[in-house]
Amino acid sequence: MSGEESFALALCDGRVYTLWKELVDKLRGKAPLIILPEGENAKELPVLRRLWKKLWQYQVDKGQTILCIGGGSTLDVCGFAAATWKRGIPFVSVPSTLIAQIDAAFGGKVGINFKKGKNLIGTYTQPKAIWVYPGFLHTLPPPALRAGWVEAYKHALIEGGTLQEEVHSTSFRTIPSLELLRRLVQVKERLVAEDPYEEQGRRQVLNLGHTLGHVWESLSLQTEKPLLHGEAVAIGLVQELYVSVKRGELAESFWMNVVGKWRTEGLLLPLPPFTWRIWEKFLLQDKKIRDGRIFLPLFLQGGRIVLSAVSIDELRFSIKAYKELIS
């Protein structure tokens, strides 16, 4: 990190500022501070409107840079405000959660939710710089740290080899080193560089576990204790791997190895209540159905990930298998 840059405005998640006041104040220097609502609550049109108003009040101009500090949601809305202010001003992102440090802050996706639809409004806009400081993770609640490790695990599955072994054998209560963070980010950056605007399907392997994960995440928003994004992806990942097992394209032992890791980390969480009708409605919000099949990336033997047509019944079957696993 560098404290040398001068910023026109600093935008920071409220929780992060409470915990890291001194560091944030050092980074922002003389830049006025705007505090944002915590987490996903920040990704709403009224918050975006408030940010535009602040950019207007402080007369932020094209030559100036703004500083954005927080988790993935904070960086999403702040990055979108910067991307659209005077047709785009530079911004520096400082991710404060594990998931943002290895995933959300990278790839250039910025935006907000709309009418309960995730990321319906947004652009692809790269920050000028991303400053990663693992120290933030010491104040992250353990469930959020663990949820971040799930995305790390997904990146490690995509990469395979020693990275996969290393993440598998690391406790999800560990604060990763800057070196490990760098290796995990590189998995995403490589895929993003190959397909920056998601036009060629190369980035889609990053959706591993996310098709079903998003359904559980959305369903759980209706409950008293919503799942964290990473917790929902953990469920989705085990279920989607099972589709490959059932097809005979992945060894059951590989799947059981992941299940065992999840069990150790307490990630085999109960599913939010649902009926199959509602489950299907949420599934199809996200994905298009063609001839009763939807397309998602499947992890196959040897580590290949292939975009495949999967039937609704295959997905239902894998959910039933998951239910038996946790019963």
Based on the shown chain and the rule CB under 8 A, indicate whether residue 85 belongs to the binding site for its own copies.
Answer: yes
What is the distance between the alpha carbons of residues 320 and 60, in angstroms, rounded to a whole number?
A: 54
String marking each residue 281-300 x if it binds its own copies according to CB under 8 A: -------x------------
The CB-of-229 to its own copies minimum distance in angstroms stands at: 19
Q: Of the listed pieces 86-94, 156-164, 224-232, 307-315, which binds its own copies according to CB under 8 A? A: 86-94
CB of 126 to its own copies, least distance (A): 13
Q: DSSP class of residue 255?
A: H
User: How many angstroms from the chain centroid is the CA of residue 148?
Assistant: 8
User: Which residue of 21, 53, 247, 263 would you call a contact of its own copies, by CB under 8 A?
Assistant: 53
Of 81-89, 137-145, 173-181, 227-235: span binding its own copies (CB under 8 A): 81-89
Cβ proximity of 236 and 229 under 8 Å: no
Q: How far from the centroid of its chain's Cα atoms is residue 125's Cα?
A: 17
The strand order across the sheet containing 33-36 reads 33-36, 9-13, 66-70, 91-95, 129-130
C-beta of 131: minimal distance to its own copies in Å? 24
Among 6, 26, 52, 178, binds its own copies (CB under 8 A): 52
Candidates 28, 43, 109, 183; binder of its own copies (CB under 8 A) is 109
Which of these segments, 13-21, 85-93, 135-143, 161-169, binds its own copies (CB under 8 A)?
85-93
CA 207/CA 229 separation, integer angstroms: 13
Question: Cα dist. 26→17, 58, 101, 245 in Å?
Answer: 12, 20, 20, 51
- Of 104, 102, 127, residue with least CA distance to 182: 102
Interface residue with its own copies among 3, 29, 32, 61 (CB under 8 A) is 61
Which DSSP string do the residues of 108-124 spell out, in sequence order? -EEEEEETTEEEEEEEE
Query: How many residues make contact with its own copies (CB under 8 A)?
Result: 26
Q: Is 83 in the site for its own copies (CB under 8 A)?
A: yes
Q: Does 111 participate in binding its own copies (rule CB under 8 A)?
A: yes
Residue 290 per-residue DSSP state = B
Q: Does 127 bind its own copies (CB under 8 A)?
A: no
Chain residues in the site for its own copies (CB under 8 A): 45, 49, 52-53, 56, 61, 83-88, 109, 111, 114-115, 117, 119-124, 197-198, 288
